[in-house]
Structure 1
Amino acid sequence: MTPPNDHQIDPEPGLDGPPVLGSWKNVYLFVLVLHAVIIILFYLFSQAYA
């Protein structure tokens, strides 16, 4: 028989969510949009200085 446990144990510690943008979905969306913007900027620079 196990003794009773008075304090709760978090089954998944550290999985509260991202510190910015509210949710992981928003973080992933931000990264994808930023990636697209960087690709477009590199394309425009390569066209301007080719």
Structure 2
Amino acid sequence: MTFTETFDSAGWDRPRVSRAALRFLGAGALSASLAEAGRGGGSSTATGSAGS
């Protein structure tokens, strides 16, 4: 899915255009990704508790 948004302001010379694309995973790929996340397979290095 792709879409375009146009933003305009009185202080700009011309409108600004933002283009974006969304990709959706199929059921199998989504399931595998969520399973991997649940196993702690990410690369997060945060440890400890807030305020430490």
TM-score where L is the length of structure 2: 0.29
- Structure having the larger proportion of residues in strand: 2
TM-score where L is the length of structure 1: 0.30
- Structure having the larger proportion of residues in helix: 1
